[in-house]
Chains A and B, each alone.
Chain A
């Protein structure tokens, strides 16, 4: 009963380092999303993928890249990490019908020092 699985759960990076957050879902969902959560700001959409092979920018895409490797996997890459990217990152997925519930992974706590 995995649902949405994201790794790693915790990561500390130095400024300028790169890393990739991995996300996979086993619900055969078409849409996948990456959000970041910061205190007092709720969750903000970084990038999303409405279907395999497509990706689009969300509200806060700067400093990030994404790859929709296949229907199951949607990765988020920080090419040159900055302290402003210290956040909790959530991957999510949703079926293709309007109103389908979006299911979230357990979150990845990233600290950039």
Chain B
């Protein structure tokens, strides 16, 4: 079975603080994909990043960085120097290989609500 756990339900920080959102996943697949999505107060789901299970290289995009550790089945997301506009619900998700029983569908974590206060 596949499962994604985001243990942090809500996080509140003050602007300019760094914040890390945790994501732990379970899968029996040897090849899989991990995603992060952002859901701002307006409600839409915005794609942030996709990682292939074969690629454990960390990635940085501006103030965002992602730490993928296959050994601990974790895919954590860090926002550096947080801003009020970062306030949103963040979802981690897992997808199997298209063509398998998973058919590429996403399994979501419960989401972490991030509040950045001015």
Please report A residues at the B interface, Cβ cutoff 8 Å.
31, 33, 35, 40-45, 48, 50, 56, 58, 88, 90, 92, 94, 96-104, 106-107, 109
B31 touches A102 (CB 8 A): no
Nearest to A107 among chain B residues (CB) is B43
B95 touches A44 (CB 8 A): no
Q: B9 touches which one: A40, A48, A101 (CB < 8 A)?
A: A40
A90 touches B110 (CB 8 A): no
Nearest to B46 among chain A residues (CB) is A104
Closest chain A CB from B95 CB (angstroms): 7
Given contacts A58-B105, A98-B104, A100-B104, contact A43 B35 (CB under 8 A): no
Q: B31 touches which one: A33, A35, A44, A98 (CB < 8 A)?
A: A98
B45 touches A90 (CB 8 A): yes
B103 touches A50 (CB 8 A): yes
Per-residue CB proximity of B101-113 to A under 8 Å, as 1/0?
Answer: 0011111111100
